[in-house]
Chains A and B, each alone.
Chain A
Amino acid sequence: GEDVEQSLFLSVREGDSSVINCTYTDSSSTYLYWYKQEPGAGLQLLTYIFSNMDMKQDQRLTVLLNKKDKHLSLRIADTQTGDSAIYFCAERLKGSRGSQGNLIFGKGTKLSVKP
């Protein structure tokens, strides 16, 4: 089945690291994505990882993928107040041509950064 799960809330102090977790159920995922949504705005693509990788680093962002456990995480180093937003995990499935396009999203994790 297609299901992406995330915890709904995370609160951290400015300067600490944030770790946002995500689990997915479909083992045929090809790519996994992290998007950021600020209030009233659209989704901003932060980073993505191919399913045959286990780690990707991009400046303050580190993505870890445990394909065996179907677990994805996003670590934000030195979290700032500007990082406060909702973070969505999404997977893209391998399948028939008709289903190759769409992403399956989790419900989002609301990150609050306290000064």
Chain B
Amino acid sequence: NAGVMQNPRHLVRRRGQEARLRCSPMKGHSHVYWYRQLPEEGLKFMVYLQKENIIDESGMPKERFSAEFPKEGPSILRIQQVVRGDSAAYFCASSLGTATSNQPQHFGDGTRLSIL
């Protein structure tokens, strides 16, 4: 019974390149959340998705960042034209349902993105 799987664990990109981070939720989970953790900080919410739908992207930067959760396959967080300030740990979480049913969010081990 695998947990939330994120890959790659570490990703190095040069400024201006694109970064693609993948997240496979726990089996049976249809809700995915992406968070960003800067050094010495807590996690900040970015986006909440269900299959084929973005439910809440209020934490996503307006430019360069996008997320999807297709019908088949993992959720993808995409960062275009990366800058040094994008260096952070990106965590994905999944749950069975939303707050109304209180299904807790289970986290992956994160992707550490480093921008050279």
Q: Which residues of A contact B (CB under 8 A)?
A: 4, 30-31, 33, 35, 40-45, 48, 50, 88, 90, 92-94, 97-108
Contact = CB atoms under 8 A, between A and B. Distances in A.
Q: How large is the interface on B (under 10, 10 to 19, 20 to 34, 35 or more residues)?
A: 20 to 34
A102 B56 contact: yes
A43 B43 contact: yes
Contact of A105 (B6, B40, B43, B100): B43
Nearest to A2: B45
A21 B113 CA distance: 31
17 contacts: A4-B42, A42-B4, A42-B110, A43-B91, A43-B93, A45-B106, A45-B107, A48-B102, A90-B43, A99-B56, A101-B48, A101-B98, A102-B33, A102-B58, A103-B45, A107-B40, A107-B42
Interface in B14-58: 31, 33, 35, 40-45, 48, 55-56, 58
Nearest to A93: B99
Nearest to A30: B99
A88 B43 contact: yes
B105 A98 contact: no
B58 A99 contact: yes
Contacts of B100: 100
A97 B40 CA distance: 30
